[in-house]
């Protein structure tokens, strides 16, 4: 992609999507059941996003992101020859079609999470006398 914002946006998408699937100190990791998708294409996309996070974006896997020295006269770019010693770093990238599937995968997950949250709110607060103004959700046995 020619736009200089394409790669940073892809990285932001991958990091944001993967955050609840990795251990963290704020809200914690989602339960393993949320890693499962009914649609196989979305399941594969979910796996690919998490893999990209772990191999390229949040970390640099040395077996995936290999550094190579390129001797003079050689090049990884077709039709070009280097005039001096250079270097190359291997990685993989995503197509626009794959990014569209990222969108569909995150949408599917968001819908499932929303349904679960609505169900839990009904279980927790149905029939209770609640404050008239919004209040913060508290964890464990902190009360309302």
CA angle (97 as vertex; 48, 103 as ends), nearest 5: 65
Mean pLDDT along residues 96-122: 95
Q: How confident is the model at residue 136 (pLDDT cuts 50, 70, 90)?
A: confident
Nearest 10 degrees: Cα torsion 90, 96, 101, 102: 60
Tell me the whole-structure pTM to 2 decimals: 0.78
- The answer to whether residue 103 is domain-embedded is yes
Domain region containing 80: 6-125
For residue 66, the Cα-to-chain-centroid distance in whole angstroms is 22
Looking at residue 65, what is its pLDDT? 83
- The answer to whether residue 131 is domain-embedded is no
- The answer to whether residue 82 is domain-embedded is yes
Domain count, the chain: 1
- The answer to whether residue 114 is domain-embedded is yes
């Amino acid at each position: 992609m020619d736009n200089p914002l394409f790669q940073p946006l892809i990285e932001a998408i991958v990091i944001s999507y993967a955050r609840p699937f990795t251990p963290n100190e704020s809200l914690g990791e989602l339960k393993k059941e949320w890693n499962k998708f009914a649609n196989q294409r979305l399941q594969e996309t979910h796996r690919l996003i998490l893999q990209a996070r772990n191999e390229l974006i949040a970390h640099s896997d040395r077996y995936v992101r290999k550094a190579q020295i390129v001797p003079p006269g050689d090049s990884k770019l077709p039709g070009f020859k280097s005039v001096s010693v250079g270097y190359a770093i291997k990685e993989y990238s995503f197509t626009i079609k794959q990014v569209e599937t990222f969108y569909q995968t995150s949408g599917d997950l968001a819908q499932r999470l929303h349904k679960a949250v609505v169900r839990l709110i009904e279980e927790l607060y149905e029939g209770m006398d609640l404050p008239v103004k919004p209040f913060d959700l508290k964890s464990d046995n902190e009360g309302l």
